Amino acid sequence: MPIAVGDLQDWIAGRSAPPRASEGLNDPISVASIFHLALSRDEDVRDPVGRASLNALRTILDDRAEAERYGGDDLAHFGPLWRQVKSAADAPFPVADLRSIAERVFALAEMTERLPVGASEVVAIDGRSLELPPRCRDRNWLVATALPRMLYRAGFTSRIIPSLVPLPKFMPPSPAALTGFLAKEIGQISAAGLRELSAIEHDVAKLTNLGATQRSRLPLLGRLLIAYPGLQASSVSKLLSVTPQGARKLLAALPTTPAAQRRLRAE
């Protein structure tokens, strides 16, 4: 699905419906459903940071309600298969290396391609038996949503990183080829992540120059806006437990970039 990060941010911030929700395109599954499955994947992980992040996100945008609203049919269609993928992804690795992860990815991809016999067979009016292409034959996105969990289980990350999905659009010909691809992608993603972390730390450091009092919510609001760009006053009100009017005053008092100022005026 060709969407941009900004499309997701607009949805999370309450500015728009899920990307492509009203475009009438023949997508195999809705963005809201993928978003929900990716988040629910880690609900059972006992990580206080991850749990706090999930709770904060669901205060802004309840992925469960959004998936029911925009993708109820998707959840019914893909839910059972997703649970199988999640269970298989959690199985212990014989050796905690990238080759083992690559082999698991291929095993999961094969699992998602299996269909019940006759699942795509229909009978025409004249009695002929026709075989139609199954819904969403390419289900690699299901495997992709489980990859951050596999990297965590194998010890490559200290916690699950939802955005760490170093998979190509089309599967390589063999686990060996995928192993090399994973190594290269993880290296590039790690370098990009360090640059992004440096930028975030720079933005956080600037929050100390706000001249706010000790009890002010401005520094906290600044950190929230770094994590969730473009938050509306209604979301700020929920997260900081202030009135909508108080949230608007806080947003007006916080220095923003020209681009952010334009977005606030657009509300």
Distances (CA, A) of 160 to 3, 49, 165, 191, 198: 23, 10, 11, 18, 20
Categorize the per-residue pLDDT at 117 as very low, low, confident or very high, splitting at 50, 70 and 90: very low
pLDDT at 93: 94
Whether this prediction's pTM lies above 0.85 is answered by no
The answer to whether residues 148 and 255 belong to one domain is: no
Tell me: do 193 and 177 sit in the same domain: yes
91: CB partners within 8 A, 6+ apart: 104
- The reply to whether 107 and 159 lie within a common domain is yes
Average pLDDT in the 128-135 region?
55
Place of tokens 């911030």: 13
**Cα–Cα distance for residue pair 243/252, rounded to 1 Å:** 14
Domains: count for the chain: 2
Same domain, 205 and 257: no
Is residue 143 scored above 80 in pLDDT?
A: yes
Read off the pLDDT of residues 31-84 as tens digits, 9 standing for 90 and up: 888 888 877 766 666 778 778 888 888 888 889 899 888 888 888 778 888 888
Is 199 found in the same domain as 229? no
Q: Name the phi and psi angles at 200, rounded to 5.
A: -65, -45
- Asked if residue 245 and residue 124 are part of one domain, the reply reads no
Residues 249 and 121 in one domain: no
- Asked whether residue 233 carries a pLDDT value surpassing 50, the answer given is yes
- If you average pLDDT over every residue of the chain, what do you get? 80
- Asked if residue 250 and residue 194 are part of one domain, the reply reads no
Instruction: Check whether residue 191 and residue 108 sit in a common domain.
Output: yes
Asked if residue 45 and residue 135 are part of one domain, the reply reads yes
Domain that holds residue 101: 5-209
Query: Does the structure show a pLDDT above 80 at 191?
Result: yes
Q: For residues 108 and 146, is the Cβ–Cβ distance under 8 A?
A: yes
| Whether residue 264 has pLDDT greater than 50 | no
